[in-house]
Amino acid sequence: MQNTLQQYIPEAAINSVLQLLKHDNLIVKVKQERKTRHGDYRRLPNGKHQITVNSNLNKYRFLITLLHEIAHLEAYQKYGKLIKPHGKEWKQTFQHIILPFLNPEVFPMQLLPLLAIHFKNPKASSDTDVKLALALKQFDEPNDKTYIFEVPFGATFKLYNGRVFKRGNQRRKRFECVEVNTGRVYLFNPNAEVEIEVNEKQLQSNI
């Protein structure tokens, strides 16, 4: 496990994470990218516990995700199965687990203030914390994706599943976007990654 972790999390965090993973009947798996989640925890039918984390995450997001899922396991073991998945028991457990990692040996200095704010009241996903999500994405491998807030008003864009939308007005923190095929309006977080659609008219206007 130590050799595996060295590939995915900051070196300064390895020993502490290994201590947290010393649970009986715990299986940890690194998975291929899943578009709808960074990781998950579940109790298996045979009584074992399984944590999975996506392999494509940068080392800081991977660490946060892994600790997020460990918090689910420890909250389950301490409080039982009737608690809310991201209720106060999980929040308190996550805060307790991550606190020792919030130092400049593990995370870059520019992330620490944002992490401190986020973990005053951790959310079900760090992606809903726009400032933190954008800061974490600075450490991702370069790709051809564009953030919603960078998409021009009225331009069309495509999601990973092929659905095409047109960007509309900003509503407080999120953006109204109309699905081209159905006309239905959806709200997107500004840090959502999409592919801008380039049609013939757009190409001609740029010539």
**pTM (2 d.p.):** 0.84
Residue 66 contacts residue 16 (beta carbons within 8 Å): no
CA distance 159 to 120: 32
Check residue 198 and give its pLDDT: 60
How confident is the model over 40-51, as pLDDT tens digits?
Answer: 999 999 999 999
Q: Please identify which residue in the block is written with the tokens 């996903």.
A: 125
Pairwise CA distance, residues 44 & 42, whole Å: 6
86: its two tokens: 């991201």
pLDDT of residue 135: 93
Mean pLDDT, residues 90-95: 98
Provide the 3-class DSSP secondary structure of residue 207.
Answer: coil
pLDDT digits 0-9 by tens, 98-135: 999 999 999 999 999 999 999 999 999 888 888 999 89
Tokens in use for 99? Answer: 């606190």
pLDDT tens, 55-64? 999 999 999 9
pLDDT category, 67, cuts 50, 70, 90? Answer: very high
Residues 65, 44, 86, 9, Cα dihedral to 10°: -10
Q: In what order do the strands lie in the sheet with 39-43?
A: 26-31, 49-54, 39-43
* Contact status, residue 23 vs residue 55, Cβ threshold 8 Å: no
**Which pLDDT does position 199 carry in this prediction?**
56
First to last CA, the chain: 54
Q: Is the pLDDT of residue 18 over 60?
A: yes
Nearest residue to 29 via CA among 52, 6, 7, 48: 52
Q: β-pairing, 49-54 with 146-147?
A: unpaired
Q: Return the minimum-mean-pLDDT range out of 68-72, 128-132, 180-184.
A: 128-132
Question: Strands (DSSP E) along the chain, which ranges?
Answer: 26-31, 39-43, 49-54, 146-147, 156-158, 164-171, 174-179, 185-188, 193-196
Mean pLDDT of the 166-180 span? 92
Angle, alpha carbons 161-144-8 (nearest 5°) = 85
**pLDDT, mean over the chain:** 90
Q: Tell me, what's the pLDDT at 1?
A: 67
**pLDDT score recorded for residue 50:** 96
